[in-house]
Structure 1
Amino acid sequence: MSQYACNIVENSIYNPTLRMYVDLGEYRYGVTLAGAGKPLVCLHGFSESGYTWDGIVVPGYQLIRIDTIGHGDSDIPEDETAFSIPTMLNDLHTVISAVAGESYSLMGYSMGARLALLYALEYSSEIENLILESGSFGIESDVERQARKAADEQLALAIEDNDGEWFAAKWADISIFESQHQLSPVVQDKLFQRRAHNSPYALAATLRGSGQGVMPYVGHRLQELSMPSLYISGALDTKYTTIGEELFSNVPNCEHVIVNGAGHNVHLEKPGPFMTALADFLYKER
């Protein structure tokens, strides 16, 4: 399927998953495979990893859970170009082609949903189904985008001045994650450890290279999404539920599911309803 090497390195301690690396030459991407069946590529959120999908099972599908560059088991390149959106999209296509082949479904959460959307607009012919969880289509106003870029830079500098644990504590307290304080202590600790595990340099490079302040606005291109698409948001996350209601609900072949009692991270906060929404969408006869 590809000239790039896919090296299986060990079994995971989590569900029956297999961890592997895809070597791109100067650096490599970490991937975990879970389940069996049709390929469903999964992209995680900022400061997370592919292990965020541990509790998600989709019968008939193999979850190909990719760690984006600088996150999880993926390398941390010294060249910050690796963290830029164009390079990441190109690298992701290489990784996905090597592991999933030429036809697959694609799912992303938060930052991963933004990347999945941009990826789907570029490689639409390969994607059977698109699932976006709490994702944005970019900031239309140049002034607002520049303001977000400046805010991301301030956060990047603060992260560089501190460490992963400082960031994990600060990130857990932002308003968009307030509903996660109701999760069990065990789940909250796992989430904290995944966030704290990150390199301050990698987090800062991600904000500068692929944060919302540098993401191109693509709201005017949503009509180009020809594949069946699903947008999932939590009812407690009013910002992203509004995005789903106002824009994605008007895109042909796109469904919007709002999960009650969930905030920004629906698959973590309400995994049961999240998997039900996935099943209803993926198994629907069209």
Structure 2
Amino acid sequence: MDILSDELSRARARGAVFSVLRRAEPWGLRFEGVRPLTAHILLEGSAWIERDDLDPAPVHARDVVLATAGSPYSLVSGPGVTTVPIAEARRTPSAPGPPGTRAPEATVMCGAYVLSGSVGESLMQGLPPFALLPAAEQEPAHRAAVDLLAAEAVRDVPGQQALLDRLLDVTLVYTLRSWWRTTEAAPGWYRALHHPHIRRVLENLHAHPEQHWTLPVMARDAGLSRAAFAAQFHQLVGLPAGRYLTRLRMSRAQDALLRTDQPLAAIAASVGYRNEFAFATAFRRQHGLSPGRWRADRRGDTGRG
């Protein structure tokens, strides 16, 4: 199983390009910072990304920036430039400089992701307010995808939006892989994928969380002694194997509670509990609520218990 692909799928991480803006200096775009994850790709030109509590960071042509939810921030042609809200800027996709001038220009593409549930939250935990991946640090195939985005952004042909959106999805996967490869903040399961024995266990846990997993069974799956497996799993993933399995099962259960009308007994069986009472006990221990109450609260349905 490809765990990253599975996690992105379960988080419903589908992106959509919502603007491609061409601007002549001086220019500034202001974002409220409320979206769970926003991608900015500077297709041409240069810029700065600013937030009140952070030092300004330069952004160059073909650089990719992933911005997580938080405080408002701006993309500007230079420090101190006046900004306009992105909603207002979208009404004028092309904004050349004053007549008779040849001000340097920039093309900015912005896309948004809707990530939901605890899976989406766990993916975002390892990202800072801005994850900036310079063009020079991108994999060759990633740079090719960004080049395709730049080429498609200036066209006006049928299917353009769908193609831009899918290329944005490609960019997210490349950016996450590159970012996590160079930071200690990557999710523990991702760091552990480089260890073949632990990777095998992780892939099996994610593929079949409903199976009867015990520490001896996991150790045998890894081809390690019980003590060696327990120590290596904890060191690489950051959690004991049993606790990781419980979190995985709870995450899958939350997803089912939110997105389906399955009865609690069916959800319990699907995530590895022998009955709904054992499941409810484990769920209440982690969330302080019964699964039925948690589902009703999250859905805003006071008629369900």
TM-score, length-normalised on structure 1? 0.28
TM-score, length-normalised on structure 2? 0.27
> Which structure has the greater CA radius of gyration?
2
